Amino acid sequence: MDALSCLSLLNRSSYDDCKKAADWLRNRTKQRPRVAIICGSGLGGLADLIDDKTIFPYEDIPGFPTSTVAGHAGQLVFGTLQGQACVCMQGRFHFYEGYSMQDVTYPVRIFFLLGVEILIVTNAAGGLNGSYKVGDIMVIKDHINLPGFSGQNPLVGKNDERFGVRFPCTSDAYDRNLRSLAIQTAHAEKCGSIVQEGVYCMVVGPTFETIAECNLLKKLGADAVGMSTVPEVVVARHCGLRVLGLSLITNKAVTDYDSNEKTNHEEVLATTCLRAQDLQRLVRHIVMKI
């Protein structure tokens, strides 16, 4: 990548660039979303629940990256869900695809400029907690930002106060009231037995974790591990959005050297197909009660 391309990536998160994209979208849809939903691997079916859709392929939106991973359709869907004005990101961007942290989080700043107040992030994750089962849904109560430990934080660089303060607090990254609402809704919808609450750890990927890495993450207090979500949450909180995070446990992390199990992306997508309807039902009823 040449120097000009690198500079372009770094500038993508500027206020003017984000406003240009937000204005472009605002001029092409009458929807004024209050809730934004980011769909993880294989979970794009959430967008199918939206009524009165207006769909924008990512490549048509000024400055938008394009999703390159299987299970990510690559389009922004505006409409209503249970009567609530929503925008759904059907496919996200990942650092391991070669995008910068600013690219990965570009849509979140656009959501903020569109007037979004609540961000719901979903992902497919590997279960580290021994009590978790494949197919469980974890309400994220906190995260461990491993890339951030090495300087890969989307807020690195000059701060623009129009988005948020220089040093945002993240001890409240995942809204307590939204977490409680999610758990209450799960029990009301008779799926409380598959809902957990725990800590999500982000690693860069695209390799799945080694046995030693999984055991280390467990000792750090992580209940599930994945390759997304945290940068989006950091920027959402920087912008003052309330956040609800939901992880679908698609596989059990391998922590035993005698195991013959091997994690793969096909397994992840297969599990999402089996449990996607439960997650969609949960999100639908959460949005209805917000």
Task: Give the active site residues.
Answer: 41, 72, 94, 96-97, 124, 227-228, 251, 265
Q: How far apart are CA 125 and CA 28, in angstroms?
A: 35
Q: How far apart are CA 149 and CA 285, in angstroms?
A: 36
Which ranges of 189-229 does DSSP label H, i.e. alpha helix? 211-220
In a 13 Å sphere around the CA of 6, the CA atoms on its Cβ side amount to 3
Amino acid identity, position 194 = I
Mode of pairing for the β-strands spanning 137-145 and 195-202: parallel
Place of tokens 């001029």: 27
Helix (H) or strand (E) segment spanning residue 32: none
DSSP class of residue 255 equals -
Place of tokens 């490549």: 59
Contact 21, 27 (CB under 8 A): no
Residues 44-53 as b or e (16 or more Cβ within 10 Å = b): bbbbebbeee
Question: What is the token pair recorded at 173?
Answer: 């990254």
What contacts 76, CB < 8 A, 6 or more positions away? 25, 55, 56, 58, 61, 64, 87, 88, 89, 90, 107
DSSP class of residue 209 equals P
